[in-house]
Chain A
Amino acid sequence: MSTYSNNSANNPHADPELFYVKQNRIGKGSFGEVYRGYDKRTSVPVAIKIIDLESAEDEIDDIQQEIQILGQLDSEFVTRYHGSYLKGSHLWIIMEYCSGGSCSDLMKAGIFREEYIAILARELLRGLEYLHGEGKLHRDIKAANILLTAGGDVKLADFGVSGQLTATMTKKNTFVGTPYWMSPEVIKQSGYDHKADIWSLGITCIEMAMGEPPYADLHPMKVLFLIPKNPPPQLDETKFSRTFRDFVSLCLQRDPRMRPTAKDLLRHKFIRTARKASYLTELIERYEKWKSEGGAKSGEDGNRGDGMTSEHGYGPAAEALWDFGTVRNALPPQPHQPGTVSRATGRPLPPSTSTPTSATPTKPDLPPSMSGRALPTVPHSASQATIISSDPEPAYQTIRNALPQGPAPHQHQAQQPPQQHHNQSHPPPAVDHDDDEDVMLEGVIVPAINNLANRVPNDHAREALARLRQAFIDAERSIPGVTSAFVLEIVENVEQVEDH
Chain B
Amino acid sequence: MNFFNRQKTRTPAETVKSLKENILRLDQSAAGEGRKRINEEVSRLLASTKNSLSGEGDAEPSPDVIAQVANEVYAQDLLSLMVIHLGKFDFEARKDVCHIYNTLLRRQLGVRSPTVDTIATRPDIIFNTLKGYANADIALNTGMILKEMLRYEPLARILLHSEQFYTFPNHIENTTFGISCDAFGCMKETLTRHKPMVAQYLDANYDRFFNMYTTLILSANYVTKRQSLKLLGEILLDRANYSIMTRYISSEANLKMMMNFLRDKSRNIQFEAFHVFKVFVANPNKPAQIATILRRNKDKLLIFLKEFHNDKDDEQFNDEKQFLIAQIQQL
Contacts and interface: CB of A to CB of B under 8 A. Distances in A.
A454 B285 contact: no
A73 to B, nearest CB: 10
Contact of B91 (A60, A74, A335): A74
A83 B313 contact: no
B293 A381 contact: no
A454 B264 CA distance: 24
A86 interface: yes
B232 to A, nearest CB: 10
B173 to A, nearest CB: 6
A421 to B, nearest CB: 14
Given A314-B267, A325-B296, A333 B178 contact: no
Nearest to B234: A373
B187 to A, nearest CB: 13
Interface string B228-260: 001001100111001101110110000010011
A74 B92 CA distance: 9
Interface in B163-186: 173-178, 180-182, 185
B314 A381 contact: yes
B311 A365 contact: no
Contacts of A336: 284, 327, 330
A38 B87 CA distance: 27
Interface in A321-377: 321-325, 327-339, 341, 343, 345-350, 352, 355-357, 360-367, 369-376
Report whether over half of chain A's contact residues are helix, strand or loop; otherwise say mixed.
loop
A292 interface: no
B284 A338 contact: yes
B223 A322 contact: no
Given A64-B182, A349-B237, A367 B177 contact: no
B50 interface: no
B212 interface: no
Contacts of B311: 454
A153 to B, nearest CB: 20
Interface string A309-326: 001101111110111110
Contacts of A325: 296
A367 B323 contact: yes
A322 B239 contact: no
B118 interface: no
B52 to A, nearest CB: 18
Interface string A53-82: 110000011001001100110100000000
A370 B266 contact: no
A369 B282 contact: no
Contacts of B88: none
A89 interface: yes
A327 B255 CA distance: 14
A325 B256 CA distance: 11
Interface residues on B, range: 35 or more
A60 B245 CA distance: 25
A405 B223 CA distance: 37
Contacts of B176: 13-14, 83-86
A382 B297 contact: no
A315 B260 CA distance: 11
Interface stretch (A1-9, A185-193, A200-208): A1-9
Given A4-B225, A11-B173, A323-B297, A316 B256 contact: no
Interface string A142-183: 000000000000000000000000000000000000000000
Interface stretch (B34-42, B72-80, B214-222): B214-222
A374 to B, nearest CB: 8
Contacts of A356: 242-243
Given A314-B267, A330-B288, A380 B300 contact: no
B235 to A, nearest CB: 10
A434 to B, nearest CB: 27
Contact of A85 (B177, B249, B320): B177
A82 B278 CA distance: 41
Nearest to A364: B283
Interface of A: 1-2, 4-6, 8, 10-11, 13-14, 53-54, 60-61, 64, 67-68, 71-72, 74, 83-86, 88-89, 91, 311-312, 314-319, 321-325, 327-339, 341, 343, 345-350, 352, 355-357, 360-367, 369-376, 380-382, 425, 450, 453-454
Given A331-B291, A364-B284, 14 more contacts: A54-B266, A86-B222, A319-B256, A321-B263, A322-B293, A330-B292, A335-B284, A338-B323, A360-B247, A361-B287, A365-B284, A366-B278, A381-B313, A381-B314
For the complex of A and B, list the 3 residue pairs with the smallest distance between their C-beta atoms, beginning with the closest: A333-B291, A350-B242, A314-B265
Interface of B: 91-92, 95, 140, 173-178, 180-182, 185, 218, 220-223, 225-227, 230, 233-234, 237-239, 242-243, 245-247, 249-250, 256, 259-261, 263-268, 270, 275, 278-279, 282-293, 295-297, 300, 311, 313-317, 319-320, 323, 326-327, 330-331
30 contacts: A5-B220, A10-B173, A10-B174, A14-B175, A53-B223, A60-B226, A64-B185, A74-B92, A83-B178, A312-B267, A314-B263, A314-B270, A317-B260, A318-B263, A319-B260, A322-B297, A323-B300, A324-B296, A328-B292, A331-B288, A334-B330, A347-B238, A355-B243, A361-B246, A362-B286, A364-B282, A370-B237, A370-B320, A381-B313, A450-B313
